[in-house]
């Protein structure tokens, strides 16, 4: 996961996180990493449009953002 955090930090590109908060609720976030610390990461949360921090121990999964593909229409001849 640290490689993905560094990728987002260096390239300013979003990554997707699955995170479990202190109440035990799992959340899905799309973020851009702003700072990496020993305890966690400081990010810009694209969905909430706010700066948020996440503890490394509570991050369940991280991945590069999937590209959304548009619909390809058949050409009418």
Distance CA 28, CA 26 (A): 7
Which pLDDT belongs to residue 1?
A: 82
- Continuous H helices in 1-77: 2-11
Question: What 3 state SS string does the chain have?
Answer: CHHHHHHHHHHCCCEEEEEECCCCCEEEEEEEEEEECCCEEEEEECCCCEEEEEEHHHEEEEEECCCCCCCCCCCCC
* Domain annotation for the chain: domains and CATH numbers: 1-64 (2.30.30.100)
Q: What is the pLDDT along the chain (77 residues), one digit of tens a residue?
A: 889 999 999 999 999 999 998 899 999 999 999 999 999 999 999 999 999 999 999 999 999 987 665 655 555 55
């Amino acid at each position: 996961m640290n490689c993905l955090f560094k990728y987002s930090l260096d390239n300013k590109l979003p990554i997707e996180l699955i995170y479990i908060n202190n109440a035990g609720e799992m959340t899905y976030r799309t973020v851009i990493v702003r700072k990496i610390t020993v305890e966690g990461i400081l990010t810009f949360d694209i969905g909430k449009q706010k700066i948020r921090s996440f503890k490394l121990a509570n991050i369940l999964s991280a991945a590069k953002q999937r590209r959304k593909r548009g619909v390809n229409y058949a050409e009418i001849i």
